[in-house]
Copies of this chain bind each other. A is one copy, B any other.
């Protein structure tokens, strides 16, 4: 009888332990990981509801409405920023992405933009409007391309891939983006952004031209 009880208790204890550990593992995993891949070119779709959610009337533009596209998924991640957005982009000329950054700036999100010094001044660049709005923009002072295309949302979400922030890249090219919260991936990008931000401080390079 006692042997049965001992075995019973042992099985019960083991089961409870397994369940507890599984619950902890699921909870840890759910909190830690966001792993998403977005491919481009994006399908066409109106994104006004994301950029102007308080619009009192529906949008009547010619684009399809109510569809989730690659661009809308990217915009949702960017617009989820509540405290900071760090951008390190080779080329930035996409107006929808610029509007998203400006909307965050108006909400009080702290934004830092680092871009390539040659591409910062090309026709259609949105770096000018960002600077005019008071967003801190730095261009790299090196002689090579600053070819990164990544963003860090609230220091916890990394968005990176082949996609430059241009209209051609979003609507034309075949491109890819990873959106992840994996700490082993996010951490090095945070360190690299801070390193590049510091070495490209215009105060350290008084003779460099910060375009716009």
Interface size on A, residues (CB 8 A): 52
Bound-state CA distance A68–B11 (Å) is 51
Stretch touching chain B among A2-10, A55-63, A100-108, A201-209 = A2-10
Query: C-beta contact mask, A89-108 vs B, less than 8 Å → 1, else 0?
Result: 01000000000000000000
Q: Which of B16, B41, B180 contacts A14 (CB 8 A)?
A: B16
- Name the contact of A10 in the complex, choosing from B10, B146, B175, B178 (C-beta under 8 A): B10
Copies of this protein in the assembly total 2
CB of A95 to closest CB in B, whole Å: 19
A133 within 8 A of B: no
A172 interface residue (CB < 8 Å to B) = yes
Q: Is A173 a contact partner of B146 (Cβ separation < 8 A)?
A: yes
Identify which of residues 1-29 in chain A touch chain B, using a CB-to-CB cut-off of 8 Å: 2, 5-7, 9-14, 16-18, 21-22, 25
* A182 CB contacts on chain B under 8 angstroms: 35, 180, 182
Residues of B within 8 A of A175 (CB): 147-148
**Interface residue? A162 (CB, 8 A):** yes
The answer to whether A178 and B160 touch across the interface, beta carbons within 8 angstroms, is yes
A189 CA to B36 CA in the complex, in Å? 11
The 8 closest A-B pairs by CB, nearest first: A10-B13, A37-B188, A35-B184, A17-B17, A145-B173, A13-B14, A147-B173, A144-B172
